[in-house]
Amino acid sequence: MSKTKVELKIGTRIYYGGDMANNPSFGTVIGVTKTNRGTNIQIQCDDGREKNVFETEFTPVYLGPWTRFVTAQAYFDWKNEKLKMMGFEGE
């Protein structure tokens, strides 16, 4: 995980890369709670799931399918760069 902090606030669009048991999904930050263990981020996924994760689980740059939590913008930046490399224009 990256030590660079990602700016997350209510309304920020995110991309969850999924894992072996959970499908990838886009979502929206619906809560930010500071605790004595760190900052907890509450996410409402577009597919209806809710996730609660610590802010430290977010990386500033999407690095491929093994990346768990990033902003949607970071995901689209990566996707558009890959499309350009293949000769396509991005979104």
Q: Minimal CA–CA distance to 53: which of 71, 75, 69?
A: 69
Q: What φ, ψ does residue 33 adopt, rounded to 5°?
A: -125, 120
CA angle 88, 2, 86 (to 5 degrees): 10
- Other CB atoms within a 10 A radius of the CB of residue 53 amount to 16
Per-residue pLDDT at 4: 63
- Domains of the chain listed by start with CATH number: 13-79 (2.30.30)
Collapsed DSSP state (helix, strand, coil) of residue 75? helix
> In this structure, are residues 59 and 50 in contact, taking their beta carbons and an 8 Å threshold?
no
Beta bridge partner(s), residue 52: 42
The one-digit pLDDT tens for each residue of the chain (91 residues) are 445 678 899 999 999 999 889 999 999 999 999 999 999 999 999 999 999 999 999 999 998 888 899 999 999 999 988 888 888 765 5
Please tell me the distance from the alpha carbon of residue 20 to that of residue 40, in angstroms, as a whole number. 23
